[in-house]
Structure 1
């Protein structure tokens, strides 16, 4: 009797694992970032950067799932004409780059097979400290960023095409507390489901 129960339990585990594996897909993606650093001493203009990385689709039902990702995001910014007035030693009208390792975890809802609505948090780790903002090379940005994002993805077989809006919730200013700086922008991407 015990052998039979163990055998049935093993079969149930195998079948449940197989059905879960059918709901798990992996892929790669790349695209464009159109971002700005939102703050009084930065120019109110969006700059182009890029994103690339990998994603997993974990489908719980035909309509609901999650999509965790690991992404390399390059965000470009430009300081304003009065940056040096607000922050002594700061450089006016300087272009710079911030490279983040970003980990979004998105809830995905698919009202139709070809369409997914996605939203969730994103955690970012700053990989470079752009030291062009200050004459003395002082580090200006915090090492982490927390954002919310939401968007739409078209599912065309194994090809994914999407767009998102990202709004930073955390202050990335590591100089002082005179003003808050937040990442803000749009992402466009093309993805390919491999598995």
Structure 2
């Protein structure tokens, strides 16, 4: 996957200098709904934010390539509750993974402003932490955030699939799903065979200059 991404970047450089017809710059931001699959798969998505810059390189009237640089807050969230005569007890675990993501999207305009997108993504870990909250009788008994950078790999790879709509004034909306392609568990510091993979839905808005 790593070799595929850098090969894509090299091909992008060649295509851009050879076939580029139009280049646009822009900004984008939105909301992440992220989760982790594998040995710690949970039912609840963690809500975070993403945002950054992009360059769109037009190759034809319908086809373009769009490299991006995005800050992205991902992870997972889970809540466990127990009910008894004395009240409600709860345990909440929030895994927060902050990445600098670099996707390279291939876009195809279907009709008017509607387009489909697909492309690889590499993510560089900025920070990883886990927050644990324990409560009972409506009171917080335990609340601690622990840095877990040593348990998460520094680099993540994935594949994006998306759908977008662009208006003539430069405003656009898009939705994207990122499928984690590699295990992000740092096996040197975790049990051998532990597997964790990122999964993220993104919904956002942007403006192309």
| Fold agreement, TM-score > 0.5 | yes
- TM-score, scaled to structure 2: 0.72
Give the structure 2 partner of residue 45 of structure 1: 44
Displacement of 1:94 after TM fit?
2.1
Give the structure 2 partner of residue 192 of structure 1: 207
Q: What is the aligned length?
A: 166
Whether the aligned pair in 1 keeps the contact of 2:128 and 2:147 (CA below 8 Å) is: no
Displacement of 1:137 after TM fit?
5.5
Structure 1: gaps of 5 or more residues:
1-16, 82-91
Whether the aligned pair in 1 keeps the contact of 2:75 and 2:96 (CA below 8 Å) is: yes
Q: CA RMSD in A?
A: 2.4
Whether the aligned pair in 2 keeps the contact of 1:160 and 1:190 (CA below 8 Å) is: yes
Whether the aligned pair in 2 keeps the contact of 1:42 and 1:80 (CA below 8 Å) is: no
- Give, in whole Å, the separation in 2 of the partners of 1:108 and 1:95: 34
Structure 1 residue 159 corresponds to structure 2 residue 171: yes
Give the structure 2 partner of residue 181 of structure 1: 196
Structure-2 change in CA distance of 1:32 and 1:136 (3 Å):
closer
Structure-2 change in CA distance of 1:78 and 1:39 (3 Å):
farther
1:141 to 152, 168, 171: 152
Give every structure 1 segment of 4 or more consecutive aligned residues whose post-TM-superposition deviation is greater than 6 Å.
Answer: 133-136
Secondary structure of the residue that 1:50 maps to in structure 2? strand
Structure 2: gaps of 5 or more residues:
1-16, 81-90, 133-143
- TM-score, scaled to structure 1: 0.76
- Give, in whole Å, the separation in 2 of the partners of 1:98 and 1:129: 5
Give the structure 1 partner of residue 138 of structure 2: none
